[in-house]
Structure 1
Amino acid sequence: MDASRSDVLVLGGGVIGLACALYLLKAGVSVRLLEQGTPGSGSSHGNCGTITPSHAAPLAMPGMISVAMRSMLRADAPLYLNPRVDLDRARWMLGFARRCNWRDFHHAAAARSAILQRSRRLMGSLIEQEGLHCEFVERGELYVYRTRKLLHADERHHAAVLDKLGVEVRRLHGDQIAGMEPALKPGIVGGLYHPDDAQLRPDRYVAELARRVRELGGVIESGARIDQFGTQEGRISHVRTTRGVFYGDRVIMALGAWSPLMGRELGLRLPMQPGKGYSLTYSRPARVPRHALVLREAAVCVTTWGSGFRLGSTMEFSGYDEGLNQIRLNALRRAAAESLHEPVGPDLQEEWWGWRPMSMDEIPIIGPSTRWSNLSLATAHGMLGISMSAATGELVAAQLTGATHEIDPMPYAPARFGL
């Protein structure tokens, strides 16, 4: 047998590629995963690790474009649009702007909620059955507010949307928040508690997924940067990399923010942009939050694990700009200092940035390509790759093996963009 051939080639070793590989292996399919770096070294590594059915609502809604335009004047804004000229980003922004209406908002929320809720139902059993040691805790997530204006706005939109989607959200007063979270400073006027949310340590989760993929017989080729696709009669015949040439009967593109760049090599124009996020990881302070928190005015997430403490979030649209932006990192520190008695831990362990794969309609792109007969896509999960990973892996494996779908695949189909 040709050692370079597998039933399926998975392109990308982030959380989505690893989840697809794991579910395919469990279905009896041979898998080889090609990763240009090491598994989980991209945006899977440094995010806040929350698993959030609560994040069904997309960013695109009436009024969001004016917020984005104003953010060009503030480099520390939670949503920042770099003012430089970028034609690809401009096209993406126009498509995003067209979706800033209530009809598209509710369509995206329903599609995101379906895969988020399915993934949340799968995560606990997946982690337990596969023995994934990743500090998984089912404790919910708490949005906290220091201004009534934003609290009331989120009650009208965020909470009301979750009510309609069947996702539990509890409205809390400031004194209730103080009792739940003594790590918070006074001045919290209220909160929204999402009891079905959970958390884990994302770098450990992806490392454990990679371990199980190998244990089940999957092959992971690290340092395999894709150089060229071979095509023949509407199929991808092989993938040439820095580690050699590999063959698969089926190919899954799970390249995250790199998907549009690689897609061009196949004549695919994926409507995606990298949304840059940042995080700071510390050793644990003495006084830590009991729940994952979102400090809403600053849109900063706070996650505590037994092994550490992380501040993260922010969304920066600056194309494929690399490197840390200390203005953005300082905004995380400042937000934590405004709300937490101990905003940082004794030791700073990591300053991190990563590109989130943001689709124009904020719905992931999952399913068979209409252009290439043996290509499937599993990308564009935005800020929700961890949260959507299990359901994405399950859906892709079901589509490739002919098993029953647990969720309707149509909202995620690449065909909606002619892909």
Structure 2
Amino acid sequence: MDTHRSDVLILGGGVIGLACALYLLKAGASVRVLEQGMPGCGSSHGNCGTITPSHAPPLAMPGMIGVALRSMLKADAPLYLNPRLDGPRLRWLLGFARRCNWRDFHHAASARLAILQRSRQLLAELVRDEKLECEFAESGVLYAYRTAAKQVADERHHATVLDRLGIEVQRLRGGDVEAIEPALKPGIVGGLFHPGDARLRPDRYAAELARRVIELGGVIETGARIDDFTTGEGRIRRVMTSRGAFTGDSVLLALGAWSPLLSKKLDMCLPMQPGKGYSLTYSRPVLAPRHALVLREASVCVTTWNSGYRLGSTMEFSGYAEGINRTRIDALRRGAAEGLREPEGPALLEEWWGWRPMSVDELPIIGRSARWSNLLLATGHGMLGVSMSTGTAELAASMLGGPVSPVDASPYAPARFGL
């Protein structure tokens, strides 16, 4: 018996790969996950853990290219484009620019909403049924404003779009915001509250998914760096790793921001770029926010759990440059200090950076490859990997013989990029 063979071999042990593994196991498949580090050690680890159907509208819209170009002059801007020359990144930016129009914007928003809403429903059910201890709370996300101009702009470009999509958003006055969120400093002029959003602790979510995968008979190979592939007759025959060769009747690529690098070994060019995010994790302050917050002028996300407190966000396009950009970490601290009475917890537990897998059209890439008959892709989720994890897993499992998903998979198909 080939002990390194599985029905489905999953490349990547972040929340997408682990959620797919869990859903496939529940559908009756044997599963093995290959992870170069430990489960959830990539962008699954340090993000803010908000579950956000309210993020259905994409970044690409008329005027966004001007914002991106101006950000090259300001290293602490919430959206920062590093000015160095980079061929793959330039091609991605040109593709992104072509989609900064209202037709593509509305198409992407509708497609993102479908998988976000399904994932939101499934996640609540999964946490309940599988008893996942990940500090899941269905308490909404609150945007707080200190300037009327920013609030008016968001009501026009964000809240109005949500209204059209059927996503509830509540407009609040400054006094109402301060009443429900006493952690904010005085001077709030208004807020937008998204009651359908939720939050969890993402590192614990990943750990709990891994626990259930193992309990249901799945195998997680840690420290298994993927080095190469052997192929033949239009199929992936073996996946070569630092821990040996593995085979699977089907191979599911869920490598997040590493997907474009590894896919080159399969003669595939994924239109993705890494979008670097940062976070600071503290022990919980005494006056911690009651809700997940976005301090809109600074674009700082604030998430509180019983076990801790996190400041995060920002988007930096600097290719695969590793390490912390101190200017951007300082911007998180400064933005929190401008908006919160107690912006930092008693003890700093972690400074973190991670790469988000940004597809050029801001839709995930989910579906069978036209290049390799036994390859399925589940990548390109951008900032919404946790939010889209369960919907993606349901879709992937349905494509490999599991129960049919009610979500139309065609907007996410790799075929749109000739993959």
Say if 2:363 and 2:412, in contact at 8 Å, map to a contact too. yes
SS at match of 1:238: strand
Distance in 1, Cα, partners of 2:15 & 2:217: 18
Q: Deviations over 1:266-299 (max 9, x none)?
A: 0111000000000000001110111000011111
Q: Deviations over 1:91-131 (max 9, x none)?
A: 00000000001111111100111100000011111011111
In 1: Cα distance, 2:407 partner to 2:173 partner: 36
Q: Could you tell me which residue of structure 2 aligns to residue 148 of structure 1?
A: 148
The Cα shift of 1:162 comes to 1.1
Structure 2 CA distance for aligned equivalents of residues 169 and 50 of structure 1: 16
The residue correspondences of 1:399-410 to structure 2 (distance < 5 A) are: 399-401=399-401, 403-410=403-410
**What is the rounded CA distance, in whole Å, between the counterparts of 1:222 and 1:418 in structure 2?**
32
Deviations 1:176-201 (A, max 9, x none): 10111010011111111000100000
Aligned match of 2:138: 138
- SS of residue matched to 1:384: helix
Aligned partner of residue 265 in structure 1, secondary structure: helix
The amino acid across from 1:128 in the alignment is R
Aligned to 1:335: 335
What's 1:123 paired with?
A: 123
Q: Which amino acid aligns with 2:407?
A: I
Residue 262 of structure 2 corresponds to 262
Secondary structure of the structure 1 residue equivalent to 2:383: coil
Shift of 1:2: 1.2
Cα distance in structure 2, aligned partners of 1:12 and 1:186: 45
Number of the residue aligned with 1:196: 196
Letter in 2 for 1:141: V
Q: Contact 2:365–2:381 (CA<8 Å) still a contact in 1?
A: yes
Query: How many Å apart are 1:251 and its aligned residue?
Result: 0.3
After superposition, the C-alpha distances for 1:295-345 in whole angstroms (9 at most, x for unaligned) are: 111111000000000000000000000001110000000000000000000
1:289 aligns with 2:266: no
Give the residue type in structure 2 aligned to 1:171: R
Residue of structure 1 equivalent to 2:167: 167
**What residue is the counterpart of 1:37 in the other structure?**
37
Matched-pair contact (CA < 8 Å) for 2:10–2:34 = yes
Matched, 1:112 2:116: no
Alignment partners' CA distance in 1, 2:68 and 2:41: 29
Write the mapping of 1:403-418 to structure 2, written as runs, cut at 5 A: 403-418=403-418
Q: In the alignment, what sits opposite 1:355? A: 355
Q: CA deviation at 1:415?
A: 0.3
Whole-angstrom distance in 1 between the partners of 2:138 and 2:404: 28
- Match of 1:180, as an amino acid? I
Q: Distance in 2 between matches of 1:413 and 1:213?
A: 26
Corresponding residue number in structure 2 for 1:182: 182
Show the counterpart of 2:253.
Answer: 253
- Corresponding residue number in structure 2 for 1:59: 59
Work out whether 1:100 is the aligned partner of 2:100: yes
* Matched AA of 1:129: D
Uncovered stretches (5+) of structure 2, i.e. residues with no partner: none
Answer yes or no: is the 8 Å Cα contact 2:145–2:151 preserved in 1. yes
**In the alignment, which residue of structure 2 is the partner of 1:272?**
272
**In structure 1, what is the Cα distance between the partners aligned to 2:384 and 2:349?**
24
Answer yes or no: is the 8 Å Cα contact 2:53–2:197 preserved in 1. yes
- Paired with 1:373 and 1:123, the residues of 2 have a C-alpha distance of 30
Q: Which amino acid aligns with 1:83?
A: P
SS in 2 for 1:332: helix
Q: What SS does the aligned partner of 2:406 have?
A: coil
Aligned residue in 1 for 2:238: 238
TM-score normalised by length of structure 2:
0.99
| Contact 2:136/2:200, CA 8 A, preserved across alignment | yes
Match of 2:73 in 1: 73
Runs of 4+ in 1 over 6 A off after TM superposition: none
State yes or no: 1:390 paired with 2:390: yes
Q: Deviations over 1:125-169 (max 9, x none)?
A: 101111110011110000111111121111112111111111111
Please give the alpha-carbon distance, in whole angstroms, between the structure 2 residues aligned to 1:264 and 1:223: 21
> Can you give the 5+ residue segments of structure 1 that lack an aligned partner in the other structure?
none
Distance 1:4 1:47 in 2: 33
Please list the CA deviations of residues 219-246 of structure 1 after superposition, one character each: whole Å capped at 9, or x if unmatched.
0000111111111110101101000100
Match for 1:17: what amino acid?
A: G
Would you say the 8 A contact 2:27–2:403 is kept in 1? no
Q: CA RMSD in A?
A: 0.7
Paired residue type of 1:205: Y
Aligned length: 419
8 Å Cα contact 2:27-2:402 kept in structure 1: no
Amino acid at match of 1:244: G
Equivalent residues in 2 for 1:281-320, closer than 5 Å:
281-320=281-320
Deviation of the 1:402 alpha carbon: 5.4
Identity %: 74
**SS state at 1:88 partner:** helix
CA distance in 2, matches of 1:189, 1:400: 50
SS at match of 2:266: coil
Give the residue type in structure 2 aligned to 1:96: F
**Partner AA of 1:249 in structure 2:** D
After the TM superposition, which residues 4-23 of structure 1 pair with which residues of structure 2 at under 5 Å, given as runs?
Answer: 4-23=4-23
User: What is the CA distance between 1:405 and its match in structure 2?
Assistant: 2.2
